[in-house]
Structure 1
Amino acid sequence: MGWQKKQIKDLLDYERPDKYIVESDRYINQGTPVLTANKSFILGYTDESSGVYKDVPAIIFDDFTTDSKFVDFPFKIKSSAIKILKEKNEGVDLRFVYEKMKSINFPTGSHKRYYISQYQDMEVVVPPLSEQKKIAEILGAVDEEIQKTDEIIAATEKLKRGMMQQLFTRGIGHTKFKKTKIGKIPEGWIITKLSKIFKLTSGKFLSRKQFVSGQFLVYGGNGVSGMHNQYLLENPTIIIGRVGEYCGAIHVTKPRSWVTDNALYIEKYLTDIEQTFLYYVLFSLNLNQYAKVGGQPSISQDVVGRVQIGLPSLTEQQKIAKILSSVDEKVSVNQKLKAKLTLLKKGLMQDLLSGKKRTI
């Protein structure tokens, strides 16, 4: 028996989530995971013992967005918009159907529930169970590698945050400390305002219509936003998101780049400073907390300039920068690995789920 056309409802049964919805959204750090089908996935944990869904594995499906997640551990649900999907019979491999669903480009223009009205009626091509299982096994193995890589990235980012906290308050090898208005710092460090270290200026407006295909990167508040055939700045510099969602975000530009007026950039240094050290300091400050709230968050040069930091010697700055850069390099290596694995998974899905390449 070869591949056959089936509707989703021929493969899956659905269950409403009412019995499994969490009662309190005051989440704790451990317990039963509370799930959503979107990117957040695990919203937190609860100690509620009743109404835990245990018939796993299962697929959770957001009825409004059609996002889905494959779940192989007991859970509770956040929203009534979630449907819980299970295989309809023994001739269906749930993981295979999940992967098939992830390959579907389903339009969700209107804010409405889709599963019963449209989604379950879609036709998909399905191989025999033995081939379903083999395809699911192959794609699942790649997913496991992606998950492991994600965990390494998350652990390394956590390590970096801890190291920044340590290095920016205790430095390297110090034994004597002094109390200051920003907390304890090594005795040899000084307290200084950022306005004493550098001069900020705003980037230059560049509309989308003015973007011309070119070799020079254009930076906005959230980093690279496009390319242009002209550049504004010759040398690399640090930029700070000035307005909107990415207000206070920190990035370092490449040489010969353009910075739009959605960001501030360091125009001039007023003292000897290691740029990479300064980048990490600014990153750790969470400048968004100083943003002016209103219709749209914004942060000014004056506000940034008033922020005070502890400043070590140039030599110690360089040592700290080297330590943190090495941690970031590990993050970068694993992000590139994840990108390769994600691309591999995409190619395998196209080949295996269509039957273009057979596994048996």
Structure 2
Amino acid sequence: MIRKFITLFTDVTKTGTKIPKEEYLTTGKNIIIDQGKDSIAGYTDRQKGIFKEVPVIVFGDHTRIVKYVDKPFFLGADGVKVLKSKEKESNYKYLYYALKAAHIPNTGYNRHFKWLKQININYPGFNEQKNIVDILDSLTRIIKVRQKELALFDKLIKARFVEMFGDPRGNNFKWKQTSIKESCTLKSGKSLSSNIEKERGDIPYIKVKDMNSSKNTPYITTSSKFVKIENVKKQILPAGTVIFPKRGGAIGTNKKRLTKLSICADLNIMGVIPNIEKLNSQYLFAYFNTIDLKTLNNGSSVPQINNKDIEPLSISLPPLSLQNEFANFVQQVDKSKVAVQKSLDETQKLYDSLMQEYFG
């Protein structure tokens, strides 16, 4: 059976109480739900006005994000729609998955509820809804477990780094100290003419957006654009270079990547090339992962990191044999991450396929 959205849902947003963002707490008695990506935006100790008629579906009018909420809550800032079913006995989890699968056009930072109200929903019998929810819930749990495993692997590498080398700025082990200027070469990217950027070529041409790709996390292995080597001989960054954004709001993302192959980069990226007689690239990468790029910003109206902001940074010089031991440990962890990522990708593919089958 196909049901129209307007026959299934009623908008009860007005019965909720909104909490201004500046009043969000990091902990509190009650949760705040807004239209952002996080399942819980913040907390409050307020009691009066809490929305108790749960479960409900929360829709981000600007973000198009759909959330299932089964605990009493307060609303976040503007842009949240709270939806209740018109049916007395409704499987809200099923409705949640149905709305997640709905195709809502992205019209930027505009309101999208008008599009949501136009959708039709596949609405089978109660038992079939329950079976579908059980399957999708199981896959969702597996996906979350795999994601947590990947995050734990990253924490394991950080913990091993501190165990072996201590605080890189505290020099707990009294290693010899040097500066980035003395032990590395800094090289900023350069803008290239658009007519030499190709979809295929010798050298990946990395832009900040390429650093966001899952294929380039945490290692740069590919790009959306490539260039011929004869056009970029002076701009090449070798494998083992640590790169990060050096200009604009991207600095705030605090992303660092390690190149696994030779690349060239655009002018919004800086590369730090280690002197391999002093520094293992994995050790240098782990060192930079302890640094908050925002603290290196030169304070101009347009955020920017220059050579003079990086060169004075102090870095310990443990024995190269110890650095290599750390790199071998990272390599073993990376192998485990590949296996978990493969399982995650396969589970996500099955989830996407079933969402299409049930609701497409």
TM-score w.r.t. the length of structure 2 is 0.82
Please state which structure has a larger fraction of its residues in helix. Answer: 2
1:296 to 297, 302, 306: 302
Residue aligned with 1:310, SS: strand
How far is the alpha carbon of 1:49 from its aligned partner? 3.4
- 1:209–1:92 Cα change, 3 Å: farther
What is the alpha-carbon distance in structure 1 between the residues aligned to residue 154 and residue 45 of structure 2?
28
1:322 to 298, 322, 328: 328
Please state which structure has a larger fraction of its residues in strand. Answer: 1
- 1:160–1:73 Cα change, 3 Å: farther
How far is the alpha carbon of 1:293 from its aligned partner? 3.2
State the Cα deviation string for residues 139-197 of structure 1 (Å, max 9, x = none).
Answer: 222112112223333344444444444444269xxxxxxxxxx435213x012111110
State whether structure 2 residue 210 is matched by structure 1 residue 204. Answer: no
Which residue in the other structure is 1:46 paired with?
44
- 1:192–1:293 Cα change, 3 Å: same
Residue aligned with 1:349, SS: helix
How far is the alpha carbon of 1:270 from its aligned partner? 7.4
Q: May I ask how many residue pairs the two structures share in their alignment?
A: 339
- 1:39–1:63 Cα change, 3 Å: same
What pairs up with 1:84-233 in 2 under 5 angstroms?
A: 84-90=82-88, 92-109=90-107, 112-115=110-113, 117-169=114-166, 182-187=169-174, 189-215=175-201, 216-221=203-208, 223=211, 225-231=223-229, 232=232, 233=236
- 1:351–1:326 Cα change, 3 Å: same
- 1:159–1:204 Cα change, 3 Å: same
What is the alpha-carbon distance in structure 2 between the residues aligned to residue 44 and residue 106 of structure 1?
27
What pairs up with 1:24-103 in 2 under 5 angstroms?
A: 25-29=23-27, 31-90=29-88, 92-103=90-101
What is the alpha-carbon distance in structure 2 between the residues aligned to residue 54 and residue 298 of structure 1?
47
The 8 Å contact of residues 104 and 112 in structure 2, kept in 1 or not, is answered as no
How far is the alpha carbon of 1:276 from its aligned partner? 0.9
What is the alpha-carbon distance in structure 1 between the residues aligned to residue 320 and residue 141 of structure 2?
44
Residue aligned with 1:185, SS: coil
Identity among equivalent positions (%) equals 22
What is the alpha-carbon distance in structure 1 between the residues aligned to residue 131 and residue 279 of structure 2?
57
Which residue in the other structure is 1:278 paired with?
284
- 1:205–1:170 Cα change, 3 Å: closer
- 1:184–1:31 Cα change, 3 Å: farther
Q: Which amino acid aligns with 2:128?
A: E
Q: Which amino acid aligns with 1:228?
A: F
Identify unmatched segments of 5+ residues in structure 1.
Answer: 172-181, 355-360
- Decide which moves more: 161-170 or 339-348: 161-170
What is the alpha-carbon distance in structure 2 between the residues aligned to residue 258 and residue 114 of structure 1?
40
How far is the alpha carbon of 1:137 from its aligned partner? 2.0
The 8 Å contact of residues 230 and 258 in structure 1, kept in 2 or not, is answered as no
- 1:79–1:240 Cα change, 3 Å: closer
- 1:129–1:207 Cα change, 3 Å: farther
The 8 Å contact of residues 11 and 92 in structure 1, kept in 2 or not, is answered as no
What is the alpha-carbon distance in structure 1 between the residues aligned to residue 350 and residue 317 of structure 2?
45
The 8 Å contact of residues 32 and 76 in structure 1, kept in 2 or not, is answered as yes
State the Cα deviation string for residues 282-314 of structure 1 (Å, max 9, x = none).
Answer: 121223321223343211122211111222111
Residue aligned with 1:284, SS: coil
Q: What is the aligned-residue RMSD (CA, Å)?
A: 2.9
TM-score w.r.t. the length of structure 1 is 0.82
Which residue in the other structure is 1:177 paired with?
none
What is the alpha-carbon distance in structure 1 between the residues aligned to residue 276 and residue 347 of structure 2?
45
- 1:19–1:77 Cα change, 3 Å: same
How far is the alpha carbon of 1:9 from its aligned partner? 1.8
Residue aligned with 1:294, SS: coil
The 8 Å contact of residues 198 and 271 in structure 1, kept in 2 or not, is answered as no
The 8 Å contact of residues 192 and 266 in structure 2, kept in 1 or not, is answered as yes
Which residue in the other structure is 1:243 paired with?
247
